[in-house]
Each structure stands twice: as structure tokens, then as C-alpha cells.
């Protein structure tokens, strides 16, 4: 087994965990979104590492689809943040309670 696979997986897990930490400690919605991107990137890295190790091509196609979904998600999510900012003048997620029962 190539040692680089393990190193890459360790890197992937590290970045993913840092993204989770950011999701927990940040309250600004844009920062939360950046951490989502960080976690998506970590997942991509792990998938490409496994694909290279096992010689599979499908993971490459899957990574392209993940990137497309991430782009769509960023476009819609940031538009929502702009709409919220217009009505509330802030996007602190701990103070947004519009959908709270």
C-alpha cells in the first residue's frame, strides 16, 4: 500500500475536521458557507486519493458532479444571504429565528 494514500487520507480527514470546527464556532453565515466548501474539498480529496489508488475512473466523474453541485449551492445560498441581509441588516445565524416554531 502506498504511504501517500494514507498521508492524503490523513490530510483529507484533517481538513474535514477543521471544516466541522468552523461550522461549530462561526456565526457569520458566509463563514459557515466557506467551511462547507472546505468540507466538500476534503471529501473530494479523499475520493480522488482512493480512485487513484484503486485505478478507478468513475470517481473523477463524480468529483466533477460534486463541483457542479457546490457551484449551484454557492450561487443560491449566497443569494439567500443577500436577501436576508436586506431585510435584517445582519446574517448572524444564531439570531435568525424566522423558521423557529
Partner 1 sequence: MGAELIVFAILFILTVTGAVMVVASKDTVKSAMALVLVMVSLAAHFVFMGQELIAALQIIIYAGAIMVVFLFVVMILNVREREVAPWYMRSLHYTGAALVGVLFLLLGTGMVAFMTPVPLAEAADVAPGAKPPIIDLLTLMITKYSLPFLMTSILLLVAVIGAVVMGRRYDPETGEEYVPDPAEAA
- Residue 97 binding partner 1, by CB under 8 A: no
Residues 6+ apart with CB under 8 A from 61: none
Binding to partner 1, residues 19-78 (CB under 8 A)? 19-22, 24-28, 30-31, 33-35, 37-38, 41, 44-46, 48-49, 51-58, 60-61, 63-65, 67-76, 78
CA-based max dimension of the chain: 55
Least Cβ distance, residue 99 to partner 1 (angstroms) = 16
Least Cβ distance, residue 95 to partner 1 (angstroms) = 10
Amino acid at each position: 500500500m502506498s504511504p501517500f494514500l494514507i498521508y492524503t487520507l490523513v490530510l483529507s480527514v484533517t481538513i474535514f475536521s477543521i471544516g466541522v470546527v468552523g461550522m461549530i464556532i462561526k456565526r457569520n453565515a458566509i463563514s459557515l458557507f466557506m467551511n462547507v466548501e472546505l468540507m466538500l474539498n476534503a471529501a473530494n480529496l479523499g475520493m480522488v486519493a482512493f480512485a487513484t489508488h484503486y485505478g478507478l475512473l468513475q470517481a473523477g466523474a463524480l468529483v466533477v458532479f460534486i463541483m457542479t453541485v457546490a457551484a449551484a449551492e454557492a450561487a443560491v445560498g449566497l443569494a439567500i444571504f443577500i436577501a436576508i441581509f436586506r431585510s435584517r441588516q445582519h446574517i448572524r445565524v444564531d439570531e435568525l429565528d424566522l423558521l423557529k416554531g
